[in-house]
């Protein structure tokens, strides 16, 4: 089915979609010597993309696995070299988030229900095979990857936390927990709990009925002091690897709140993006930067990781400070208390720290001299969800851009962003809205930027709008 047509710049400025009536590349800044153009318009909740070896581009549409207007079916699109855009597959059980191509197969991570999955499609026949289906999910955060290491050829993938800040809270019912009330975080190694439970309202009972919830417990279930929670291979906040057929899975890291973006450098080092904890609710944490972690265990031979590295969630902020430190005391909400007694050794520090609530997502290393900036990491920043998850005015404009990061020095600079100063998610300007992925073409000459589209955020909710996503292309003149 052909669902894409060629158009003109003038037509893109007069679209029938009221949530995003204009798409105008002239409003998007890129450095001198580069140019940007809109390639595909009208996408619905795009979440990730990957190139096949021949230049075919596969694009995920996440579907209505979060509050949307209207409800849409999760699916995978295929943009051919001839410019035709068609539907490669539909995913009725969950929302596709990430995807990777290798040797004629398409690998996809899916969110939805109590378990996230990794599936594989034969691109020639469309045959679908489930590789992993035991990844705990059903809550606040997303699966990351998949991607393949140039070092060992293994498949790497990840998943974030069920909870916002370490304990299942009522706010989670606005997203997933109402559908999955028994969902909870699972540690990647044995932990002993402090018993510092959270008292909160119970949205299932008449106000002001309160309930008590502990770490690594379903909502409404308290923890006990000195209670030991056994670590599991299939945990939350984890990074795994396996053979391409799904065999021999291995947990190499955990304690990463939302490892949505994953990228390998040319020398096979693995880096993962992660989002800050929120300044909201009954365990509020302030001034926790977004970050990029170096997953050092990715270079250790497969099968030899006896203890996975721990990156701090839920008790250590990206600063390396405990979340109850005075630097992280909230302006709004109840301050956090320690959840894990005698926690594992912290695997930080991060290689890059970004402003809180920038919402760093998917990313890619430049591996070619054709585009310039070889060796730099390009990372999408979906943009703030303040005031939904932060009371601070300075957080209202964070993100909404593509950053270029030097992982050796920890320095970053904006590469692509809107010239217009207004908050992007609330305006009708024609530039970039919410970058969710950026990937280099197989020839290394172009950077493709996937724009999720319009997502409006208020103090009490977020709403995303279908048919507002855009695929942008940046090339060197």
pLDDT at 384 over 70: yes
pLDDT digits (tens, 9 = 90+) for 86-102: 999 999 878 999 999 99
pLDDT digits (tens, 9 = 90+) for 313-326: 999 999 999 999 99
Residue 170 has which token pair?
């009522």
pLDDT of residue 174: 62
pLDDT at 461 over 90: no
Name the phi and psi angles at 334, rounded to 5. Answer: -90, 135
In contact, 7 and 30? CB cutoff 8 Å? no
Average pLDDT rounded to a whole number, residues 215-239: 97
pLDDT at 5 over 50: no
| Cα(184)–Cα(141) distance, integer angstroms | 12
pLDDT of residue 175: 65
The pLDDT-based confidence of 147 (bands split at 50, 70, 90) is very high
What does pLDDT average to over the chain? Answer: 92
* Residue 123 CB neighbours (<10 A): 18
Helix, strand or coil, per DSSP, at residue 448:
strand
Place of tokens 């809270």: 169
Q: What percentage of the chain carries pLDDT values higher than 90?
A: 76
Average pLDDT rounded to a whole number, residues 381-401: 87
Exposed e or buried b per residue across 380-402, where buried means at least 16 C-beta atoms within 10 angstroms of its C-beta: bbbbbbbbbbbbbeebbbbbbbb
Distant-in-sequence, close-in-space partners of 12: CB < 8 Å, separation ≥ 6: 22, 23, 24, 38, 41, 430
More confident residue, 73 or 207: 73
The pLDDT-based confidence of 183 (bands split at 50, 70, 90) is very high
| Cα(401)–Cα(153) distance, integer angstroms | 31
Distant-in-sequence, close-in-space partners of 76: CB < 8 Å, separation ≥ 6: 58, 59, 60, 61, 87, 88, 89, 90, 91, 96, 99, 106, 108, 121
pLDDT of residue 3: 42
């Amino acid at each position: 089915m052909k669902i894409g047509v060629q158009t003109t710049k003038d037509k893109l400025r007069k679209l029938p979609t009221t949530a995003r009536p204009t798409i105008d590349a002239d409003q998007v800044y890129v450095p001198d010597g580069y140019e940007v153009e809109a390639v595909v318009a009208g996408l619905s909740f795009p979440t990730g993309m990957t190139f096949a070896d021949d230049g075919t581009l596969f694009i995920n549409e996440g579907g209505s696995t979060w509050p949307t207007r209207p409800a849409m079916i999760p699916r995978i699109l295929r943009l051919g070299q001839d410019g035709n855009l068609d539907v490669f597959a539909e995913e009725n059980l969950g929302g596709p988030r990430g995807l990777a191509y290798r040797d004629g197969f398409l690998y996809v991570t899916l969110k939805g229900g109590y378990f996230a999955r990794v599936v594989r499609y034969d691109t020639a026949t469309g045959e679908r095979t489930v590789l992993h289906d035991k990844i705990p999910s059903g809550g606040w955060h997303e699966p990351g990857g998949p991607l393949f290491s140039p070092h060992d050829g293994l498949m790497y993938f990840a998943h974030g936390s069920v909870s916002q800040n370490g304990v299942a809270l009522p706010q989670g019912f606005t997203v997933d927990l109402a559908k999955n009330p028994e969902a909870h975080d699972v540690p990647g190694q044995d932990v002993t709990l402090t018993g510092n439970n959270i008292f909160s309202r119970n949205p299932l009972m008449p106000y002001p009925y309160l309930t008590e919830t502990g770490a690594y417990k379903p909502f409404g279930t308290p923890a006990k002091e000195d209670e030991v929670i056994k670590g599991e291979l299939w945990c939350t906040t984890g990074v795994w690897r396996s053979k391409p057929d799904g065999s021999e899975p291995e947990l190499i890291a955990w304690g990463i709140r939302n490892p949505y973006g994953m990228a390998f450098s040319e020398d096979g080092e693995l880096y993962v993006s992660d989002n800050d904890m929120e300044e909201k609710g009954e365990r509020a944490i302030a001034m926790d930067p977004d970050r990029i972690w170096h997953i050092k265990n990715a270079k250790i031979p497969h099968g030899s990781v006896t203890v996975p590295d721990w990156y701090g969630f839920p008790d250590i902020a990206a600063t390396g400070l405990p979340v109850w430190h005075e630097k992280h005391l909230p302006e709004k909400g109840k301050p956090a208390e320690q959840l894990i007694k005698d926690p594992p050794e912290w695997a930080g520090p991060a290689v890059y720290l970004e402003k809180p609530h920038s919402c760093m997502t998917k990313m890619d290393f430049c591996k070619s001299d054709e585009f310039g900036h070889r060796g730099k990491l390009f990372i999408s920043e979906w943009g703030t969800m303040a005031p939904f998850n932060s009371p601070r005015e300075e957080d209202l404009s964070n993100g909404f851009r593509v950053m270029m990061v030097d992982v050796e020095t920890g320095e970053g600079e904006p590469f692509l962003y809107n010239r217009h100063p207004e908050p992007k998610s609330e305006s009708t300007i024609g530039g970039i809205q919410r970058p969710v992925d950026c990937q280099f073409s197989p020839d290394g000459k172009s950077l493709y930027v996937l724009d999720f589209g319009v997502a409006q955020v208020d103090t009490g909710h977020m709403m995303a709008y279908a048919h507002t996503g855009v695929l942008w292309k940046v090339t060197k003149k």
